[in-house]
Amino acid sequence: MTVPPRRRPGSDDGSIAAFMVLFIVTLLVLTGLVVDGGAAMTARQAAADEAQQAARAGAGALSVDALRSGRLALDPTAAVAAAEAFTVAAGHPGTASVDAGVVTVTIHYRIGTALLGLVGVDTLPVSGTASAVDVSGVTGVSAGSS
């Protein structure tokens, strides 16, 4: 007759399984941060690029009346319309504003995640902002993204 092994009080049976589950979840989250974080960084740069291009399009909207009188001036209404039309055509509608001859465009949207969806993060926010001013026919741009 064989005697079953005796269990000690406070046995560690099953603790390695719990450790492995925690380790695998942690590994998936870190991999998701790398993969989805890289995608978010790429999307933020693309949003900043789109905002720059839209701001340039808006800065090219000069006032016809001002040109006829021999001076260079931005038509604010046409600048906002041109910049916002560009963002719509680019696929990420944004907002534009004109202040003291400077066209500023902001784009906000969300991208889907590949791996972080496993832990409940389905989308990540993306935004880009850029400003442009038309200076004697040469458009100058400053940009930022978040």
This prediction has a pTM of: 0.72
pLDDT band with cut points at 50, 70 and 90 for residue 16: confident
Mean pLDDT across the chain: 84
CB distance 116 to 32 below 8 Å: yes
pLDDT band with cut points at 50, 70 and 90 for residue 67: low
pLDDT for 8: 62
- Sorted by sequence, the CB contacts under 8 Å of residue 137 that are 6+ apart come out as 72
Alpha-carbon span 21 to 3, nearest angstrom: 33
